């Protein structure tokens, strides 16, 4: 990008701007889903987790609660929990309460203010537990703080793995294997394939909270990148893509319109969409092949009675 001195872009987050400009220049316009999570987005996501249609959170919490003692027994004492995309760390508390003498907690998240507030709350709730938040993208090549003393165990709940493509899953799992080491273990929450009659409402709730969450991305771009999206000119759409086994979230342009973002114009025709998120719904056998290829072996798994969701314990393999 050669316009570093352009006054229209001065002082803006270059990475965010480049990602937005690039995404909106593609034939199928797209925006990276991690930008859904500014402080407002993180708070809206917490509201989503409590919606009647949104089965994943309560199902995963049910599995973790029912099997916390088994998970803790399998992991053993002196664990440092490294959580990818920690959000409000709600599920973390279930594990921390069950673990014997946990040695630390390292939440990683892009949503800086939300992450730091949650870390403060956890320090107050678990006095003596070292809590070391890391602000950043979990796809980056991360390093653990040098003073970590316990056994690092990865925790990746919420089926956030389902936001990633096959290539990204491979890269992410290899990096986690490297970060967590030769004795590494990994606890993952995975949403499983099921009827679109259950899936679509979970991402298009009657109260419109998911719509707010999706549209908030335009508000964020307006605020952070000097843009002029007309929020009312776009609508939230959630659709089931059967061949890719994923829910897709889009922002649908309701009219022909142009938007300026830090001095660059982008045109939208009526009916055109911006693809903002994928939530893949997995088949466990296929996922297992991904894990094996990235140096992980499935050690234990727990499902809810309806087989909507799975919690997996992986062990580093050769």
Q: Supply the minimum distance, in Å, between the C-beta of residue 275 and ligand SAM.
A: 16
Q: Supply the minimum distance, in Å, between the C-beta of residue 16 and ligand SAM.
A: 13
> Which one, 92 or 253, has the nearer CB to ligand SAM?
92
Distance CA(60)–CA(311), nearest Å, equals 7
Distance CA(130)–CA(134), nearest Å, equals 13
Q: With contacts defined by CB under 6 A, name the span among 64-72, 82-90, 202-210, 248-256 that binds ligand SAM.
A: 82-90
By CB under 6 A, tell whether 111 contacts ligand SAM.
yes
By CB under 6 A, tell whether 213 contacts ligand SAM.
no
By CB under 6 A, tell whether 308 contacts ligand SAM.
no
Query: What stretches of the chain adopt beta strand conformation (E)?
Result: 79-84, 104-109, 134-135, 151-156, 185-191, 234-241, 246-253, 257-261, 264-268, 273-280, 296-303, 309-316
Give the Cβ contact number of residue 269 at 10 Å.
9
- Of the candidate residues 45, 55, 203, 282, the single one contacting ligand SAM (CB under 6 A): 45
> C-alpha dihedral over 99, 80, 54, 38, to 10 degrees?
150
By CB under 6 A, tell whether 107 contacts ligand SAM.
no
What kind and span of H or E run contains 105? strand 104-109
Helices (H) and strands (E) in the chain, counts: 9, 12
The binding track of 134-163 with respect to ligand SAM, each residue x by CB under 6 A or -, is: ---xxx-----------------xx-x---
By CB under 6 A, tell whether 165 contacts ligand SAM.
no
**Residue count, binding to ligand SAM (CB under 6 A):** 20
Interacting residues toward ligand SAM by CB under 6 A = 34, 37, 42, 45, 49, 57, 85-87, 91, 108-111, 137-139, 157-158, 160
């Amino acid at each position: 990008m050669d316009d570093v001195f352009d006054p229209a872009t001065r002082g803006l987050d270059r990475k965010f701007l480049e990602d937005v400009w690039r995404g909106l220049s593609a034939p199928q316009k797209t925006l990276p889903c991690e930008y859904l999570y500014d402080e407002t987005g993180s708070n809206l996501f917490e509201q989503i987790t409590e919606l009647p249609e949104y089965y994943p959170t309560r199902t995963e919490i049910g599995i973790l609660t029912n099997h916390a003692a088994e998970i803790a027994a399998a992991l053993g004492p002196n664990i440092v929990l490294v959580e990818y995309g920690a959000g409000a760390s709600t599920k973390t508390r279930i594990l921390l309460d069950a673990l014997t003498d946990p040695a630390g907690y390292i939440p990683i998240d892009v949503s800086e203010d939300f992450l730091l507030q949650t870390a403060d709350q956890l320090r107050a709730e678990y006095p003596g537990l070292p809590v070391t938040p890391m602000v950043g993208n979990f796809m980056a090549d991360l390093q653990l703080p040098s003073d970590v003393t316990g056994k690092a165990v990865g925790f990746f709940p919420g089926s956030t793995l389902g936001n990633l493509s096959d290539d990204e899953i491979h890269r992410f799992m290899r990096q986690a294997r490297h970060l967590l080491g030769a004795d590494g273990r990994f606890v993952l929450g995975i949403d499983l394939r099921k009827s679109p009659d259950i899936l679509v409402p979970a991402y298009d709730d009657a109260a419109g909270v998911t719509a707010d969450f999706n549209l908030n991305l335009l508000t964020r771009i307006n605020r952070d990148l000097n843009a002029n999206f007309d929020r009312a000119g776009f609508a939230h759409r959630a659709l089931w893509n059967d061949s890719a086994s994923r829910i897709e979230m889009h922002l649908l342009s309701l009219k022909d319109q142009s938007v300026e973002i830090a001095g660059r114009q982008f045109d939208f025709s009526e009916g055109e969409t911006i693809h903002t998120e994928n939530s893949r719904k997995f088949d466990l056998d296929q996922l297992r092949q991904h894990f094996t290829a990235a140096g992980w072996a499935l050690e234990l798994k727990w499902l809810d009675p309806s087989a909507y969701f799975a919690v997996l314990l992986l062990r580093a393999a050769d």
